[in-house]
Amino acid sequence: MLKRIAMLSAHTSPLEQPGDGDAGGMNVYVLELSRQLASRGIEVEIFTRATSRHQPQLVEAAPGILVHHVPAGPFEGLQKNDLPSQLCSFVRDVLRAEVEREPGHFDLVHSHYWLSGQVGTVARERWNVPLVHTMHTMAKVKNAMLADGDDAEPIGRIYGEEEIVRLADRLIANTMEERRELIELYDAEPEHVAVVHPGVDLEVFRAGRQAAARSLLGIPEDAALLLFAGRIQPLKAPDVVIEAAARMLHDDPALRERLVVAIVGGASGSGLDRPTALTDLSERLGIQDVVRFVPTVAQSDLADWYAAASVVCVPSHNESFGLVAIEAQACGTPVVAARVGGLSTAVSDGVSGILVDGHDPRDYAAALHPLLTDPELREAMSHKAVRHAESFGWDVTADRTLKVYAEAIEWHRTHVEKNA
């Protein structure tokens, strides 16, 4: 019986605010999955790197969920690419958590992102427990779809991911496309890769409240609200949203009376190197009067922004899934997104939103304009968006993940016995 899981999220804490720094969809994934597991009577201990000397070493995030803040390198000032050099310290403290308990304290390790996967391979061997790994993003895929201004992922990450694929008992892919990439690009054994879609909190992200949300946020009732939500970095392509808005205003000057473009999120990754890039762009295009920049907000506040929006745009160069797209649709808001990665699963093209090939702002303007100006089209897509999102509840994600855990435990047991 599965009693206790070690959840590894080395580079970003599930307690951090998504949309800022390195915090994003993965943070939501780890915490929501842990909550679902805890509700089923499974204890979850999450290990993440401490980023402040003021953080307590141990936090009860919710009943049945403990978060360990592991000291590993300087608390502040480290970028994600600096973290591989600190993994030895992180591994040491993770392994110590087992040493200080009775043997067999953990039944399974679930690691997230390649840095955690490296730690997971060591824990798997030392604790003799199965390792389940979720990539979230992959270097070979990112390097094939780099945005202007983004740096290529280092070869060390590629080697690390290849090792994780070879050693993990099971791999969880967010979509069939990601499964294919793991098999074709990383030589993963097909029977070791399971597809489990991430979920959405259908109690927080809910539809039918646009007027109330707009009143709360100070958005005019008749506004055509175009929303981008996420980390501000080239990978997420918020510049495409601003350029598409400028194109729409050029082609339809009357839209200026109602258009509001909200960019919600904080700088991350290479976006930290150019903190004023988007404000400079909006000024250069002459649309600074319609663009509103909003710092990262809590999930409940983000739900208000989704509900208030006429359409949400997700023009990312790559997404392993795209939680923003599902969250927006759960709030009854159609999505215009890039036809990349998991967004092809997250958005039902022509039904709950529109998928766009490439990243030409003119193509996004053409897709966005009807949803901003045609109430009947938007209303029709809104209802379908809600129905589409309802199939992505976190309870479904947890049930499917538990099946993967059971497969990993059985495979690990028989494999270890055969090689004993």
Quick: pLDDT tens for 312-348: 999 999 888 889 999 999 999 999 999 998 899 999 9
Distance CA 323, CA 138 (A): 17
pLDDT tier for residue 262 given thresholds of 50, 70 and 90: very high
Q: Known binder of ligand: residue 327?
A: yes
Q: Known binder of ligand: residue 406?
A: no
In 3D, which of 296, 297, 279 has the Cα closest to residue 288? 279
Q: Known binder of ligand: residue 159?
A: no
Per-residue pLDDT tens digits for 14-23: 887 655 555 5
Distance CA 191, CA 183 (A): 10
Q: Known binder of ligand: residue 17?
A: yes
Q: What is the pTM of this model?
A: 0.86
Q: Known binder of ligand: residue 80?
A: yes
Rounded average pLDDT over 107-129: 94
Rounded average pLDDT over 72-92: 66
pLDDT tier for residue 149 given thresholds of 50, 70 and 90: confident
Q: Is the pLDDT of residue 380 over 90?
A: yes
Own/partner pairs for 125-131, CB < 8 Å, 24+ apart?
Answer: 126/95, 126/98, 127/98, 128/416, 129/412, 130/169, 130/170, 130/405, 130/408, 130/409, 130/411, 130/412, 131/167, 131/168, 131/169, 131/170, 131/408
Q: Is the pLDDT of residue 224 over 60?
A: yes
Cα angle 271, 244, 315 (rounded to 5 degrees) comes to 55
Distance CA 23, CA 17 (A): 6
Q: What is the pLDDT of residue 86?
A: 66
Residue bearing the bigger pLDDT, 24 or 207? 207
Q: Known binder of ligand: residue 306?
A: yes
3-state secondary structure (DSSP) of residue 318? coil
Q: What is the pLDDT of residue 238?
A: 96
Are the C-beta atoms of residues 322 and 343 closer than 8 Å to each other?
Answer: yes
If you search the block for the tokens 């080395």, which residue do you land on? 10
Q: Known binder of ligand: residue 309?
A: yes
Residues 6+ apart with CB under 8 A from 392: 197, 198, 199, 200, 326, 330
Q: What is the pLDDT of residue 17?
A: 65
Q: Known binder of ligand: residue 399?
A: no
Q: List domains and CATH numbers for the chain.
A: 4-199+394-419 (3.40.50.2000), 210-392 (3.40.50.2000)
Q: What is the pLDDT of residue 395?
A: 93
Q: Known binder of ligand: residue 144?
A: no
Q: Is the pLDDT of residue 84 over 70?
A: no
For 333, how many CA atoms within 13 A lie in the half-sphere containing its CB? 36
Are the C-beta atoms of residues 331 and 301 closer than 8 Å to each other?
Answer: no
Q: Known binder of ligand: residue 319?
A: yes
Distance CA 231, CA 69 (A): 23
Are the C-beta atoms of residues 93 and 395 closer than 8 Å to each other?
Answer: no
Q: Known binder of ligand: residue 162?
A: no
pLDDT tier for residue 158 given thresholds of 50, 70 and 90: very high
Q: Known binder of ligand: residue 418?
A: no
Rounded average pLDDT over 392-413: 95
Q: How many CB atoms lie within 10 A of CB 22?
A: 18
Distance CA 197, CA 172 (A): 9
Q: What is the pLDDT of residue 369?
A: 98
Cα angle 253, 240, 320 (rounded to 5 degrees) comes to 145
Mean residue pLDDT of the chain comes to 90
Q: Is the pLDDT of residue 175 over 70?
A: yes
Q: What is the pLDDT of residue 98?
A: 76
Q: Known binder of ligand: residue 25?
A: yes
pLDDT tier for residue 253 given thresholds of 50, 70 and 90: very high
Q: Known binder of ligand: residue 113?
A: yes
Q: Known binder of ligand: residue 157?
A: yes
Q: Is the pLDDT of residue 403 over 80?
A: yes
Q: Is the pLDDT of residue 241 over 90?
A: yes
Residue bearing the bigger pLDDT, 417 or 215? 215
pLDDT tier for residue 295 given thresholds of 50, 70 and 90: very high
Rounded average pLDDT over 231-258: 95
